[in-house]
Structure 1
């Protein structure tokens, strides 16, 4: 079987793990389901644009669904605080 590596920041991984745990599945199951949904919609121009835009902003930002993504420290140059769970994903 072939493998694709997905590199995540810890805040991203924590949110994925918590979501997977709430569904009683693995993080790999979440990643595969997300890829499946994406590939089923790959003919949509908006989806293609979102992929290229995400590639650009991911270099400097955490996604809204990750832990601490909305932290004031992330965009005001202040010292980091301990990560807090994302409000978008309830455990």
Structure 2
């Protein structure tokens, strides 16, 4: 039997573990079911584009389903803005 290893960040693994616990299965069962669904739909050009896009952004972004508590938000690292002056201010 061949092996595929998937390395996940904690923010990616925790949702997988929660789903596995909810369904009373192992995390490997979640991964296999996901691969099964993907392979069934893999000839769809939209799915193929999604696979390629996910590969490109994986190094810099967490997937939408990951816990994002540790992720950087778009506004972080930006300079603080002065509030806009109101047209009613004197």
**TM-score, normalised on structure 1?**
0.77
> Deviation digits for residues 12-65 of structure 1, max 9, x if unmatched?
001100111011111000000000000001110000000000001111011111
Could you tell me which runs of 5 or more consecutive residues in structure 2 were left unpaired when the two chains were aligned: 78-90
RMSD after superposition: 1.4
Q: Runs ≥4 in structure 1, deviation > 3 angstroms?
A: none
Alignment of 1:9-88 (within 5 A): 9-68=9-68, 74-75=72-73, 76-77=76-77
Aligned residue pairs total 75
CA distance in 2, matches of 1:28, 1:34: 10
Point out where structure 1 has 5 or more consecutive residues left out of the alignment. Answer: 78-91
The structure with the larger Rg is: 2
> What is the alpha-carbon distance in structure 2 between the residues aligned to residue 50 and residue 23 of structure 1?
27
